[in-house]
Amino acid sequence: MFHVLTLEYVQPLDVIEQSRPAHLEWLQGEVDAGRIILAGRQEPLKGGLLITGDISVEEAQDIIERDPYQIAGLVNYERISFNGAFRAPGL
């Protein structure tokens, strides 16, 4: 199961920026582990979007719960899960 995780900032950008280094370090660890395959900020800057690899719903929820932004109460997450029946080679 693949997941689209959207996060919406619920605090001003200057508050978000204070926690950004911890968020980016956490995010890089998730990418290195293969749990997140694509991530970036939304345009305009109202939040972000993460695409997971083929992981369980429980693993996706764990990703959300360990995000420093989530821990600090800076974002609201939404998860959309899908079966990924059609995939590019290598996914």
Contact between 46 and 22 under an 8 Å Cβ cutoff? The reply is no
* pLDDT given for residue 86 in this prediction: 86
Instruction: For residue 8, give the nearest of 41, 57, 51 by alpha carbon.
Output: 41
Contact between 1 and 56 under an 8 Å Cβ cutoff? The reply is yes
* pLDDT given for residue 91 in this prediction: 66
* pLDDT given for residue 89 in this prediction: 82
Instruction: For residue 7, give the nearest of 91, 89, 66 by alpha carbon.
Output: 66
pTM of the predicted structure, to 2 decimals: 0.90
Domains of the chain (ranges; CATH) run: 2-80 (3.30.70.1060)
* Dist CA 67 CA 32 (whole Å): 15
pLDDT (tens place) for every residue of the chain, 91 residues total: 999 999 999 999 999 999 999 999 999 999 999 999 999 999 999 999 999 999 999 999 999 999 999 999 999 999 999 998 887 887 6
* Dist CA 20 CA 75 (whole Å): 12
